[in-house]
Amino acid sequence: MKIKCDFCKTEYSIERAPSAPVKCAVCGHVWNVVVPSRRGAWMLFIASVCALLSAIVFVTAVVVKSKIEAANRAPIVAELSEIKVVTDDDGIPHFAVSGAIINQSTEIYGVPDLVVVSRDATGHEIARQKFMPSATLVEGGASVGFNHVLSTPTDGVKKITVELQMGDE
């Protein structure tokens, strides 16, 4: 291998890396010969490539898994956000429900009709009322709001849920 004096730049050829500081025969400068470890550099390169590959595999696995999960979920869901009691001109109370229709897919969907189900304290259905939300389309990943005043009685109603009208129910 070749080494060079740090000070006067004189070059020397030596058999192997010296274990102790060397002294320049020309100028008398003493310095430590640092031998770059090729094997160490190579191992570091291998390790970084492995880390990169495992990161790519990990990301791919996560993306594939989330795609499967998205496909297994219903593309369209409806969520109630608020239930209020409003009274009409005759002083009769009605439930006013509002919420959102959420498109969990990446494709545009037509907004389905919604069915508001009123149940009593034991979970028995008191009434089902279908209505058409004002929005007709919901973009992928977007949501549209809905609100509706039920004409069905409020007596005994303890739980209200909203369902999507699927097919010709």
Rule CB under 5 A: is residue 5 a binding residue for Zn ion?
yes
Rule CB under 5 A: is residue 24 a binding residue for Zn ion?
yes
What CA–CA distances, in Å, run from 88 to 7, 15, 169?
98, 102, 29
Stretch that binds Zn ion, among 4-12, 41-49, 124-132, 133-141 (CB under 5 A): 4-12
- In whole angstroms, the minimum distance from the beta carbon of 3 to Zn ion comes to 11
Indicate the residue among 10 and 87 with the shorter CB distance to Zn ion: 10
Q: Which of 14, 17, 27, 55 binds Zn ion (CB under 5 A)?
A: 27
Indicate the residue among 10 and 48 with the shorter CB distance to Zn ion: 10
What CA–CA distances, in Å, run from 11 to 7, 16, 21, 35?
11, 15, 15, 15
Rule CB under 5 A: is residue 26 a binding residue for Zn ion?
yes
Q: Which of 1, 4, 8, 46 binds Zn ion (CB under 5 A)?
A: 8
Determine if residue 111 is left, alpha or beta; phi over 0 gives left, psi from -120 to 50 gives alpha, anything else beta. beta
Rule CB under 5 A: is residue 68 a binding residue for Zn ion?
no
User: Please, is 101 exposed, middle or buried when counting C-beta atoms within 10 Å of its C-beta (0-12, 13-18, 19+)?
Assistant: buried
